[in-house]
Amino acid sequence: MQAINMFRTSDGKMFEDQTEAMAHESAITNEVAISAFIAKHYPAPAEGRPGPSAGIARKAIALWLSEQNAATVGDDGADEE
């Protein structure tokens, strides 16, 4: 028998990889700010649908934010006894 670790985000989605779960959670938490940044720097063309670069940028921003959050959790010393 093998144990399987899963990570559940606040919206109930399950992930096998902690990095993916953290990026997804960061995207949820920062949705307004990410959307404003994407709208400003990756405007949709006249057809109304943003290009693929906007989706790639959205994922990259969420991943970067999750990495920043993970780095600061251990740096403040609050978690240590």
Residues 25-79: tens digit of each pLDDT: 999 999 999 999 998 988 877 777 778 888 999 999 999 998 887 777 655 544 4
Residue 61 belongs to a domain: yes
Residue 59 belongs to a domain: yes
pTM here is 0.68
Residue 24 belongs to a domain: yes
Summarize the chain as % helix, strand, coil (round to 5): 60, 5, 35
**What is the number of domains present in the chain?**
1
Contacts of 10 (CB under 8 A, 6+ apart): 25, 28
Host domain of residue 31 = 19-73
